């Protein structure tokens, strides 16, 4: 049985990973082509974002059919071959399940719109407060009202995301039974991991106006969420001890996550939380340009690390995914100290308590894309907010600069395989533009260079498997108040680890005050860790991992 605490997960966004047939869209056969590359990195699981039949209004997170593979990605035979070939390499598959909502083209919703009362009850329909006035003032996470009017019924349906993504009614036991059938189907295909999209939004507490205007308090970590997860666990993945699960928790609380991912619990293996990735927001507002808050970043990460450990709950630890900008641009220096900062940021995450997730291209140090026109973007959220920001009084140029920094498309540009045509992603025209820096940031180049970002990530994966202290140790924050250094200790059964990181592009002398006698440096991003006793002289974005066994 694979221990998920010693495991590393590699996330693939299939649409942008590798196109095997030249149509400009990545596909399952493209993933098969690159399994040896993934094996070389050393990871244990591949998490793939949805490849089910979908109209692609939200890049596959609008599922039309949970049982069929979208032809643009391949066939069921392709999936079965991928599963077999990954298995031969010791890699398991983790599927992304979207159960808060479906596509409006899902047969359940189509039947609902036809007036079939059974399927109408699969969704959340409500009367308006008055003619032309939605049931509540809740806002969609993609902008605008979270309610869409259906004239035929003189009712509105709830969509917390795009208008084409109606929310499912989990209060209905038939809905929960259908969800269980879907999970069992893919378990039958040999799937050993599930990632559940915005799963903590499935229980709504009430349908009332919100004085904050967005409605989040009525649908986040709702009153029956733990009941629903326990029920799903017992009926499906909980029957197979080898299956690993992770829940994406939107605007969640620590207290709920203690329960979601408790090692003695019956809900999920681990959770994704995003509080640490809101440190360049203004309050809860994403679409602004402000510097990130380093002290806040440390405070949030250490709070989650120590509190989850105290409550015997497990984190997924990560910087990047398909919904986030590239971390080396966000918290590092993609120009002057690109390689050093990319390695440092990888070290911070991979030595923490929790299962690390690597998002495709992160192991190469891929950066945000330098798009120059809004027409180059594809993300529905970004395009919506480009207009919303202008409606609020910003100029097109001001709105565009904000989109460039925060757009999810920064994480969705094609994987950079080599320095040839379209970075080796496709023989055709890619669905979204390739980042122009592929000429020097690409897998082929980095696999030949043992000083590359790729080899640093490979070593990080190896360290987790080699040293139990990384997988199982506790976490003790160090230098919590330091304005430049991110450092922590790990301890476990006579093993000790100290992880030291300079988060800035300038030298710093850090007097740790620690007795480091007997420690050896087992990983660094510069040549030669400069320290005398407990005093470190850190270069820009320098990172060092020191180890001692009693």
Alpha-carbon separation of residue 351 from 189, 260, 421, 499, 522 (angstroms): 33, 23, 36, 7, 12
Partners of 532 in the beta sheet?
Answer: 535
H helix or E strand, kind and range, residue 544:
strand 543-549
Task: Copy the structure tokens of residue 500.
Answer: 């030291």
Alpha-carbon separation of residue 127 from 143, 150, 158, 201, 339 (angstroms): 21, 10, 11, 21, 56
- The order of strands in the sheet holding 125-126 is 125-126, 155-158, 147-150
> Out of 27, 197, 362, 379, which one is annotated catalytic?
197
Partners of 65 in the beta sheet?
Answer: 53
Rounded CA gap, 438 and 130, in Å?
Answer: 55
User: Do residues 292 and 279 touch, judged by C-beta distance below 8 A?
Assistant: yes
> Out of 44, 62, 248, 362, which one is annotated catalytic?
248
Q: Report which of 362, 269, 186 is spatially closest to residue 3, judged by C-alpha positions.
A: 269
The residue written with tokens 């950079």 in the block is: 416
SS3 489: strand
SS3 96: strand
Could you confirm whether 231 is annotated as catalytic? no
Task: Copy the structure tokens of residue 322.
Answer: 């398909």
Q: How many CB atoms lie within 10 A of CB 506?
A: 10
SS3 359: strand
Backbone Cα Rg of the chain: 23
Could you tell me the sign of the dihedral formed by the alpha carbons of 277, 283, 284, 290, in that order? negative
The residue written with tokens 């159960």 in the block is: 99
SS3 515: coil
Could you confirm whether 155 is annotated as catalytic? no
Rounded CA gap, 377 and 103, in Å?
Answer: 22
Q: Report which of 202, 463, 460 is spatially closest to residue 343, judged by C-alpha positions.
A: 460
Task: Copy the structure tokens of residue 385.
Answer: 């907010």
* Chain centre distance of CA 525: 25
Q: Is 340 exposed, middle or buried (0-12, 13-18, 19+ CB in 10 A)?
A: buried
Rounded CA gap, 29 and 279, in Å?
Answer: 38
List, by residue number, the catalytic residues: 197, 248
């Amino acid at each position: 049985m694979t221990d998920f605490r010693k495991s590393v997960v590699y996330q693939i966004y299939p649409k942008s990973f590798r196109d095997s047939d030249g149509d400009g869209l990545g596909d399952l056969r493209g993933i098969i082509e690159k399994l040896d590359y993934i094996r070389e990195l050393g990871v244990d699981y591949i998490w793939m974002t949805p490849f089910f039949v979908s109209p692609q209004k939200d890049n596959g997170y609008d599922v039309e059919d949970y049982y069929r593979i979208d032809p643009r990605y391949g066939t069921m035979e392709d999936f079965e071959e991928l599963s077999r070939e990954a298995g031969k390499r010791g890699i398991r598959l983790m599927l992304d399940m979207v159960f808060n909502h479906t596509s409006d083209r899902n047969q359940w919703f189509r039947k609902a719109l036809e007036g079939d009362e059974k399927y109408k009850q699969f969704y959340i329909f409500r009367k308006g407060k008055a003619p032309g006035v939605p049931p509540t003032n809740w806002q969609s996470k993609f902008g605008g009202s979270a309610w869409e009017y259906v004239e035929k019924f003189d009712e509105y349906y709830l969509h917390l995301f795009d208008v084409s993504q109606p929310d499912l009614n989990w209060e209905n036991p038939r809905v929960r039974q259908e969800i269980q059938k879907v999970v069992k189907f893919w378990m039958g295909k040999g799937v050993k991991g599930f990632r559940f999209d915005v799963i903590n939004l499935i229980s709504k507490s009430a349908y009332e106006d919100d004085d904050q205007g967005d409605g989040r308090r009525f649908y986040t970590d709702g009153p029956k969420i733990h009941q629903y997860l326990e029920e799903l666990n017992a009926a499906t993945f909980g029957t197979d001890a080898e299956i690993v699960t992770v829940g994406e928790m939107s605007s969640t609380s620590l207290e709920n996550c203690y329960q979601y991912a408790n090692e003695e619990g019956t809900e999920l293996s681990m959770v994704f939380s995003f509080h640490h990735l809101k440190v360049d927001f203004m309050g809860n507002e994403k679409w602004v340009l402000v510097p990130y808050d380093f002290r806040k970043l440390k405070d949030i990460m250490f709070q989650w690390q120590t509190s989850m450990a105290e409550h015997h709950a497990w984190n997924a630890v990560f910087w990047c995914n398909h919904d986030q900008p590239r971390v080396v641009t966000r918290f590092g220096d993609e120009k002057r100290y690109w390689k050093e900062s990319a390695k440092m940021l990888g070290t911070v995450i991979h030595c923490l308590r929790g299962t690390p997730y690597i998002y495709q291209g992160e192991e190469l140090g891929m950066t945000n894309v330098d798009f120059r026109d809004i027409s180059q973007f594809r993300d529905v959220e970004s395009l919506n907010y480009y207009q919303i920001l202008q409606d609020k009084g910003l100029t097109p140029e001001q709105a565009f600069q904000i989109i460039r920094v925060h757009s999810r498309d920064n994480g969705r540009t094609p994987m950079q395989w080599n320095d040839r045509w379209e970075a080796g992603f496709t023989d055709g025209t890619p669905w979204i533009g390739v980042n122009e820096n592929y000429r020097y940031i690409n897998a082929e180049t980095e696999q030949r260079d043992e000083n590359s970002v790729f080899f640093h990530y490979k070593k990080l994966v190896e360290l987790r498997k080699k040293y139990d202290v990384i997988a199982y140790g506790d976490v003790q924050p160090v230098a919590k108040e330091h304005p430049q250094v991110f450092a922590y200790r790990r301890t476990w059964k006579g093993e000790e680890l100290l992880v030291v990181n300079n988060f800035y592009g300038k030298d710093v002398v850090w007097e740790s005050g620690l007795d480091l006698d007997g420690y050896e440096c087992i990983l660094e991003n510069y040549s030669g860790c400069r320290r005398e006793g407990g005093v470190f002289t850190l270069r820009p974005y320098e990172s060092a991992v020191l180890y001692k066994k009693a």
